[in-house]
């Protein structure tokens, strides 16, 4: 009986060591599982809805599709809302609406003419007038004493502040379960300003549509950054005496919070 006691103690000690090792291993597994970010536990980012803050900028305008007004710079700051409409393993379709309480348009102007004769510059000033096309080259010639001098325009730029709303829009995203998602968006809305844009005698109310593609990067399942290149057009649809329209290629950046 005495000889069995030490062996029994050794056996119990071995079992305790084994149990301790299993407990330690289980604890490490639980700890590592708790340290795994929610990204791997929730493989489908985006949620049901999102609230975003966006800014867009274009340094120029030209005739791309239907607009004619040139050299417009537009900068916007606003917010957007999206809501899931349908999702498959490959694609996701969302409703998208946005507001831009700050819509700044900078237009080229002509503020007079000038020419140089006998070393003296003669300036004829006028109130700045926004123009559809920027003035390039001489606008005429003056001949004094048989000497011809070119007349050039005095140019500048003017800012107009407005607000824009796009209540109708959709966004299609590919690979909705991945961290990086290419997508395509379409937005319809309008721009309202305190004076006619892009020139006088056009309209204070302009329709707007935009479409383009980009890529959205999820930093986690609830936060994403989206970078897009968008074609945007604004015009008054013939409601003003003039309707030059503005076509632009726009860079748009959006920070979204998903729920």
What pLDDT digit, counting tens, does each position of 45-98 carry?
889 999 999 999 999 999 999 999 999 999 999 999 999 999 999 999 999 999
Q: Which of 3-7, 191-195, 209-213 is the least confident region?
A: 3-7
Phi/psi at 59 (5° precision) = -90, -5
Residue 44's pLDDT band (cuts 50, 70, 90): low
SS3 (DSSP) at 242 = coil
Q: Which of 16-30, 155-169, 191-205 is the least confident region?
A: 16-30
Class of 42-107+158-258 in CATH: mainly beta
Q: Check residue 135 and give its pLDDT.
A: 87
pLDDT > 90 in the chain, percent: 73
How far from the centroid of its chain's Cα atoms is residue 171's Cα? 13
Are the CB atoms for 146 and 155 separated by under 8 Å? no
Phi/psi at 22 (5° precision) = -65, -40
Q: Which of 40-54, 101-115, 152-166 is the least confident region?
A: 40-54
Task: Kindly tell me if the per-residue pLDDT of 20 is higher than 90.
Answer: no
d(CA 163, CA 168): 16
pTM: 0.79
Q: Check residue 118 and give its pLDDT.
A: 79
d(CA 200, CA 109): 11
Structure tokens, 201? 């005698």
pLDDT, average across residues 155-179: 97
Q: Each residue of 198-251: pLDDT tens digit?
A: 999 999 999 999 999 999 999 999 999 999 999 999 999 999 999 999 999 999
Q: Check residue 46 and give its pLDDT.
A: 83
Q: Check residue 83 and give its pLDDT.
A: 97
Structure tokens, 123? 């300036």
Q: Check residue 42 and give its pLDDT.
A: 44
Q: Check residue 146 and give its pLDDT.
A: 79
Task: Kindly tell me if the per-residue pLDDT of 29 is higher than 70.
Answer: no
Q: Which residue has the higher pLDDT, 149 or 8?
A: 149
Structure tokens, 197? 């844009």
Task: Kindly tell me if the per-residue pLDDT of 21 is higher than 90.
Answer: no
Q: Check residue 117 and give its pLDDT.
A: 82
| Cα torsion 61, 67, 68, 72: sign | negative
Task: Kindly tell me if the per-residue pLDDT of 182 is higher than 70.
Answer: yes
Average pLDDT, the chain: 86
Task: Kindly tell me if the per-residue pLDDT of 16 is higher than 90.
Answer: no
């Amino acid at each position: 009986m005495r000889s069995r006691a030490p062996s029994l103690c050794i056996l119990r000690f071995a079992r305790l060591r084994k149990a301790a090792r299993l407990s330690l291993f289980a604890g490490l597994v639980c700890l590592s599982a708790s340290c795994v970010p929610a990204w791997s536990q929730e493989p489908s980012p985006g949620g049901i809805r999102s609230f975003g803050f966006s800014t867009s900028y274009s340094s120029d305008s030209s005739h791309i599709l239907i607009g004619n007004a040139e050299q417009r710079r537009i900068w916007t700051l606003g917010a957007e809302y999206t809501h899931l409409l349908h999702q498959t393993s490959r694609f996701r379709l969302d409703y998208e609406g946005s507001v831009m309480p700050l819509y700044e348009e900078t237009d080229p102007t002509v503020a007079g003419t000038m020419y140089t004769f006998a070393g003296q510059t003669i300036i004829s000033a006028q109130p700045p007038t926004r123009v559809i096309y920027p003035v390039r080259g001489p606008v005429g010639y003056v001949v004094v004493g048989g000497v011809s001098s070119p007349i050039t325009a005095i140019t500048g730029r003017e800012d107009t502040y407005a607000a824009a709303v796009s209540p109708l829009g959709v966004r299609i995203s590919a690979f909705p379960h991945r961290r990086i998602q290419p997508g395509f968006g379409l937005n319809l809305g309008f721009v309202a300003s305190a004076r006619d844009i892009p020139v006088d005698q056009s309209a204070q109310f302009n329709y707007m549509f935009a479409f383009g593609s980009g890529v959205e990067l999820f930093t986690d399942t609830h936060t994403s950054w989206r970078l897009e290149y968008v074609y945007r057009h604004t015009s008054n649809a013939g409601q003003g005496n003039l309707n030059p329209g503005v076509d632009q290629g726009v860079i748009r950046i959006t920070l979204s919070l998903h729920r």
